[in-house]
């Protein structure tokens, strides 16, 4: 074991690792342990550092008193703890908060906190933009820029919890923000590992949910490496319509998607897969569509969330009527499929499902509370 005065071994560091640009938030516990071993340190240093960062909120390595002096000095010189910066915060009339965050390279992403009685859910982004081009989603209309790093993903939780303070606890995380999480597989999995790690945020695997539009190979891979709750953006019961609404269906059609869902369900038989279904007037909201859902979901342990469509500029769609949604819901519930209608939250600040675009429009006429952090103006 290293004594407190033993120097850190830097022989195995690559040039970029000795440049002072190692963001320690990019490592989950396994990765951090490997990093410390490469320095000649013991793997348990990883758990010590995780506790300092995520449980104590420490950003100054000199305050990490149970690390050796030489290790603290090395970390201070070569590493950093950097998260996206809040440039705009909006608070909706229902208490929903949306933060526009800016990364080190200047990209902007959006993160949403939804307070409810007994729980607080954070909706986290995984990419800058999205490449899947789902026609009912505002994020998809912005195109794709890049994947977020693990630090930029877990950094959203880090920033949100610090901003909310100790009196408001984030109990649930859903990977349902900007982007398709399974197209940024490794970084997303590492971030979710940190969310569930007892030495970091310690969230239950039932309280961490990853949403996918149906990247089938990655769904199979996920069952092998990370046991989290799964949500699937379904939105149609035929390949013809789903090809239009969710174009990735052309590559991985419904039969393949449902096979992957059944395989995922085997790893946690008591857990259900959540299917998301946006309600589009005259498109996918007929009683025949409801009966198609009953047939499609009958072999998968599932629950269904009906999502009233949230409009955005130049959208092709309108939301189904309340009566239509209620009849749709009742038919599914009567068939034994647990079906709920998701309550629209944060619509007055464009924080509702499908409205995140990485920018802020002027909504001052809609009676929201807007706070600009620092000197930055809205994008």
CATH number at residue 63: 1.10.150.530
Query: Structure tokens of 112?
Result: 């949403």
Identify the pLDDT of residue 277. Answer: 97
Q: What is the mean pLDDT of residues 310-327?
A: 90
User: Can you name the residues that pair with 306 across neighbouring β-strands?
Assistant: 277, 341
Are residues 69 and 91 located together in one domain of the fold? no
Are residues 34 and 179 located together in one domain of the fold? no
User: What confidence tier does 141 reach under pLDDT thresholds 50, 70, 90?
Assistant: confident
Backbone angles phi, psi at 195, to 5 degrees: -60, -35
DSSP letter at 98?
E
Q: Residue 191 above 80 pLDDT?
A: yes
Are residues 63 and 188 located together in one domain of the fold? no
Are residues 185 and 294 located together in one domain of the fold? yes
Q: Determine contact, residues 284/254, Cβ cutoff 8 Å.
A: no
Query: Structure tokens of 229?
Result: 């709750």
Q: 7 lies in a domain?
A: no
**Cα distance between residue 202 and residue 188, in whole Å:** 16
Q: 65 lies in a domain?
A: yes
Can you give the CATH number for the domain in which 312 is found?
3.20.20.70
- Residue 100 burial (CB < 10 Å; 0-12/13-18/19+)? buried
Q: 314 lies in a domain?
A: yes
Q: 329 lies in a domain?
A: yes
User: What confidence tier does 375 reach under pLDDT thresholds 50, 70, 90?
Assistant: very low
Whether 353 is catalytic: yes
CA-based angle 176:182:185, to the nearest 5? 120
Q: What is the mean pLDDT of residues 348-354?
A: 53
pLDDT in tens, 60-104: 999 999 999 999 999 999 999 999 999 999 998 888 999 999 999
Are residues 303 and 359 located together in one domain of the fold? yes
Backbone angles phi, psi at 360, to 5 degrees: -125, 130
Q: 2 lies in a domain?
A: no
Q: Out of 110, 152, 276, 347, which one is annotated catalytic?
A: 110
**Cα distance between residue 258 and residue 234, in whole Å:** 10
Identify the pLDDT of residue 350. Answer: 56
Identify the pLDDT of residue 349. Answer: 56
pLDDT in tens, 5-34: 344 444 434 334 445 689 999 999 999 999
Which one of 53, 80, 107 terminates a domain? 80
Are residues 90 and 71 located together in one domain of the fold? no
Which one of 61, 80, 99 terminates a domain? 80
User: Can you name the residues that pair with 361 across neighbouring β-strands?
Assistant: none
Q: Residue 314 above 70 pLDDT?
A: yes
User: What confidence tier does 370 reach under pLDDT thresholds 50, 70, 90?
Assistant: very low
Identify the pLDDT of residue 347. Answer: 61
Q: How many domains does the chain have?
A: 2
pLDDT in tens, 209-247: 999 999 999 999 999 998 899 999 999 999 999 999 999
Q: 191 lies in a domain?
A: yes
Are residues 177 and 233 located together in one domain of the fold? yes
Q: 1 lies in a domain?
A: no
Structural domain containing residue 291: 85-372
- The dihedral through the CA atoms of 278, 284, 286, 292 has a sign that is negative
- Residue 146 burial (CB < 10 Å; 0-12/13-18/19+)? middle
pTM of the model: 0.86
Identify the pLDDT of residue 362. Answer: 34
Quote the distance between the C-alpha of residue 180 and its chain's center: 9
Identify the pLDDT of residue 297. Answer: 96
Are residues 92 and 51 located together in one domain of the fold? no
Query: Structure tokens of 83?
Result: 């998260």
Identify the pLDDT of residue 379. Answer: 31
Which one of 39, 54, 80 terminates a domain? 80
Listed in sequence order, the residues at least 6 apart from 76 whose beta carbon sits closer than 8 Å to its beta carbon are: 61, 62
Are residues 208 and 246 located together in one domain of the fold? yes
CA-based angle 10:12:14, to the nearest 5? 95
Are residues 192 and 218 located together in one domain of the fold? yes
Q: 166 lies in a domain?
A: yes
Are residues 192 and 235 located together in one domain of the fold? yes
Whether 110 is catalytic: yes
- CA distance to 189, 237, 242, 297, per residue, from 331 (Å): 37, 15, 21, 13
């Amino acid at each position: 074991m290293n004594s407190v005065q033993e120097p850190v071994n830097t022989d195995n560091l690559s040039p970029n690792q000795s440049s002072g640009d190692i963001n320690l938030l990019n490592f989950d516990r396994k990765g951090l342990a490997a990093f410390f071993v490469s320095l000649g340190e013991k793997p348990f240093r990883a758990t010590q550092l995780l506790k300092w960062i995520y449980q104590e909120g420490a950003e100054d390595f000199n305050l990490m008193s149970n690390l050796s002096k030489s290790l603290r000095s090395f970390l201070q010189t070569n590493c950093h703890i950097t998260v996206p910066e809040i440039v705009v915060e909006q608070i909706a009339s229902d208490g929903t908060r949306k933060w526009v965050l800016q990364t080190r390279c200047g990209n902007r992403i959006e993160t949403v906190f939804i307070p409810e009685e007994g729980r607080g859910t954070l909706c986290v982004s995984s990419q800058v933009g999205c490449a899947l081009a789902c026609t009912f989603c505002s994020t998809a209309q912005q195109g794709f820029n890049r994947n977020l790093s693990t630090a930029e993903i877990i950094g959203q939780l880090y920033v949100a919890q610090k901003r909310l303070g100790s009196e408001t606890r984030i109990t649930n995380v859903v990977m349902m923000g900007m982007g398709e999480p399974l197209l940024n597989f490794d970084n997303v999995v590492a971030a979710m590992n940190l969310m569930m790690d007892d030495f970091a945020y310690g969230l239950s695997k039932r309280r961490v949910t990853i949403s996918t539009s149906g990247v089938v190979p990655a769904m199979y891979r996920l069952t092998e490496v990370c046991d989290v709750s799964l949500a699937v953006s379904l939105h149609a019961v035929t390949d013809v319509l789903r090809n239009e609404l969710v174009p990735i269906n052309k590559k991985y059609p419904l039969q393949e998607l449902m096979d992957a869902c059944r395989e995922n369900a085997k790893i946690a038989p008591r857990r259900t897969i959540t299917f998301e279904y946006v309600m589009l007037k005259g498109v996918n909201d007929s009683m025949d569509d409801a009966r198609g859902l009953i047939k499609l979901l009958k072999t998968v342990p599932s629950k269904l969330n009906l999502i009233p469509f949230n409009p955005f500029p130049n959208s092709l769609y309108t939301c189904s009527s309340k009566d239509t949604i209620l009849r749709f819901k009742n038919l599914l519930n009567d068939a034994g499929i647990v079906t709920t209608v998701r309550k629209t939250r944060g619509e007055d600040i464009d924080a509702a499902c499908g409205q995140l675009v990485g920018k802020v429009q002027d909504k001052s006429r809609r009676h929201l509370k807007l706070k600009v952090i620092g000197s930055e103006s809205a994008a």
